[in-house]
A and B are shown apart, each in its own frame.
Chain A
Amino acid sequence: MSQTAIEVRDLVKHYQILERDAGLKGAIKALFSRKYRIKEAVKGIDLSIAPGERVGYIGFNGAGKSTTIKMLAGVLRPDAGSVRVFGIDPHENRIQNARQIGAVFGQRTQLFWDIPVRESFDLLREIYEVPRSEFEETIAWFIEQLQLEPLLDVPVRQLSLGQKMRCELAAAFLHRPRVVYLDEPTIGLDIDIKETIRAFIREISDAWGTTVILTTHDMQDIEEVCDRVIVLDEGRIIYDDRIETLKQTFNNERTLEITLDEGTTFVIPPSVTGLVTELASETDSIQLAFNHHEISSGQLIREIVNCNQVKDLSVVVPKMETLIRNLYQPEVSA
């Protein structure tokens, strides 16, 4: 554990977006005189990820997630700052780095479109120079874990989305990479396939100590797979902590949803003022945010019922998703 898996310092990436006119004339013109629009995709990121860590890397579209990952994978060259993946500069030593990483990139397939899955794996074995015995062992395990047996002789183009993603995942881990980048591995899949995939990532990573960087919009993925969350917004890291800490921070946050009898108005009991925050309220239904630590749910409910004509009420424990959203908009979270 002396070495870090991924070490990123002051990483900066600007895109120069070429403004070009359509067509050949525009293209030729662009060869000689160029007009650029600068887009700052990544504005100074520092990261240190330990071997075997599973990191959820999240943020809105355009936050700079995929740009960072492309730099970690060596596809893009950083404009400033440094990247090391197990001590290797991924861009300068792209091929060397490629041996130790695996990736699933959304809709772009690792597999070879027209040929059966088994042959695809075989080809990847050669590409990554995996010894035959190790390969057989790995594959046997993956087949069991991901239920690949019935898919092996089917050409990739005939697979359904869920089937394909399972194969993609196997392909990404086939050469036992030290780091795996997963970009939206569960998007558009059924619940049970999502579960299979999450379990697979956990188990493989536990067994081999694989470092996993997972970008997703599905907070369930993060919750079940990752032990650390990094939130990116507009090219900067705005949150980076262990997932338990994130949960604990907001652990005591509760929301009380109240529905009143028609025609009555809501009165906040004086005894609780300052302990609750009124969220979006309409005439008959009110939402109050409070901290479970400062006032217990039971206490609050008693006080509310005493002063109001309550028809219905419920206490809501916030979901991961809400927690993350609160990170983006801290003013609402209070």
Chain B
Amino acid sequence: MRLQKYVALAASQIKVDMAYTAWYWASMFSVTMRLFILYFFWQAVYENKTDVSGISLSMMLTYAVLATMLDQFRGGAGRELAHLIKHGGVAVELLRPYHLLDKLLAQDIGTKTSTFFRSTLPLLVIAMLFIGVDPPTSLESVFAFSISVVLAILLATLIDLLVGVLSFYTVNVWGLSVLQEAIITIMSGAIIPLTLFPDWFQTISLYLPFASLVYVPVAIYTGDIQASGIWPSILIQLAWVGAFFLFVRLLFAYAVRKVTVFGG
């Protein structure tokens, strides 16, 4: 009963996304181009080499393709929230018979589901045909990879929502969101496997949530994270998801109380 409402929200969001065909083709084109750049770049890197710190060309390309795909799921719910806050729509939303955060999450799931079928799958086919993606190392890794991907996407949404909630406190949110963008790009492993990073950097990233966004799931797939490391990594992801979930809720509740008491 209660869930139905959110399923409907997610479904209607899918329809909204379908209406933006021009943007769909534009982003398909742009991601395809990015894949090609990566392809030529890594080809050139491996010109006279068979491996870079133990990673072969085909492994590297597989990593690059999957990381690029996963990077498409970074967020949107937070931007939506920030928009609502900035333009005053949040007051109306708070009167509606649902929890605003749940609504945004439901819409986000809708968007991401349609992204997966409409963008990710066709792009994966393109990548397999023109770039080459290694098959998974084992059945277990496929299974673990799937779980890890879901957690990664959820975590990305929660981080995005956190930035959105922060816009209750700052007037203009684009500064924050660009900062978020930059940090995630570097620290998540979206552009390069974290194992290539200097040791001190890898140590730091152990204690930060960002590796859980891209590196962990992709490395599980490529076998970069060995069998024994898989489940601990997923547990860490799960812990981050839980922590961010609670933190966002608390901050939201606090901000809403502040707004309703002081009239924003």
Residues in A lying within 8 Å of B, measured CB to CB: 22-25, 27
- B95 interface residue (CB < 8 Å to A): no
When distances are taken between beta carbons in the complex, the residues of chain A under 8 Å from B19 are: 22
Closest B residue, CB atoms, query A25:
B21
Most buried by A among B22, B25, B26: B22
Q: In the bound complex, what is the Cα–Cα distance between A27 and B26 (angstroms)? A: 13
When distances are taken between beta carbons in the complex, the residues of chain A under 8 Å from B21 are: 22-25
When distances are taken between beta carbons in the complex, the residues of chain B under 8 Å from A22 are: 19, 21
Min distance, Cβ B175 to any Cβ of chain A, angstroms: 17
Main secondary structure of the interface of B (DSSP, over half): helix
Closest B residue, CB atoms, query A21:
B21
Given A22-B19, A23-B21, A25-B21, 7 other A-B contacts at CB below 8 A?
A: A22-B21, A23-B22, A24-B21, A24-B22, A24-B25, A24-B26, A27-B22
When distances are taken between beta carbons in the complex, the residues of chain A under 8 Å from B22 are: 23-24, 27
Q: In the bound complex, what is the Cα–Cα distance between A247 and B26 (angstroms)? A: 61
8 chain-A/chain-B pairs, Cβ below 8 angstroms: A22-B19, A22-B21, A23-B21, A23-B22, A24-B21, A24-B25, A24-B26, A25-B21
Q: Quick one: CB contact mask for B1-36 with A, threshold 8 Å, 1 for yes?
A: 000000000000000000101100110000000000
Min distance, Cβ A96 to any Cβ of chain B, angstroms: 38
Q: In the bound complex, what is the Cα–Cα distance between A22 and B25 (angstroms)? A: 13
Min distance, Cβ B227 to any Cβ of chain A, angstroms: 45
When distances are taken between beta carbons in the complex, the residues of chain B under 8 Å from A25 are: 21
Min distance, Cβ B132 to any Cβ of chain A, angstroms: 29
Min distance, Cβ A170 to any Cβ of chain B, angstroms: 28
Min distance, Cβ B86 to any Cβ of chain A, angstroms: 12
Q: In the bound complex, what is the Cα–Cα distance between A23 and B24 (angstroms)? A: 10
Closest A residue, CB atoms, query B21:
A23
Q: In the bound complex, what is the Cα–Cα distance between A27 and B22 (angstroms)? A: 9
Min distance, Cβ B88 to any Cβ of chain A, angstroms: 13
Q: In the bound complex, what is the Cα–Cα distance between A27 and B23 (angstroms)? A: 12
Q: Quick one: CB contact mask for B173-204 with A, threshold 8 Å, 1 for yes?
A: 00000000000000000000000000000000
Q: In the bound complex, what is the Cα–Cα distance between A27 and B19 (angstroms)? A: 14
Q: In the bound complex, what is the Cα–Cα distance between A25 and B26 (angstroms)? A: 12
Q: In the bound complex, what is the Cα–Cα distance between A246 and B76 (angstroms)? A: 60
Q: In the bound complex, what is the Cα–Cα distance between A22 and B21 (angstroms)? A: 8
When distances are taken between beta carbons in the complex, the residues of chain A under 8 Å from B25 are: 24
Q: In the bound complex, what is the Cα–Cα distance between A22 and B26 (angstroms)? A: 15
When distances are taken between beta carbons in the complex, the residues of chain B under 8 Å from A24 are: 21-22, 25-26
Q: In the bound complex, what is the Cα–Cα distance between A22 and B19 (angstroms)? A: 8
Q: In the bound complex, what is the Cα–Cα distance between A309 and B14 (angstroms)? A: 69
Closest A residue, CB atoms, query B25:
A24
When A and B form their complex, which 6 residue pairs have the shortest distance between CB atoms, in order from nearest? A23-B21, A24-B22, A24-B25, A24-B21, A23-B22, A25-B21
Min distance, Cβ B211 to any Cβ of chain A, angstroms: 37
Most buried by B among A22, A23, A25, A27: A23
Min distance, Cβ A277 to any Cβ of chain B, angstroms: 52
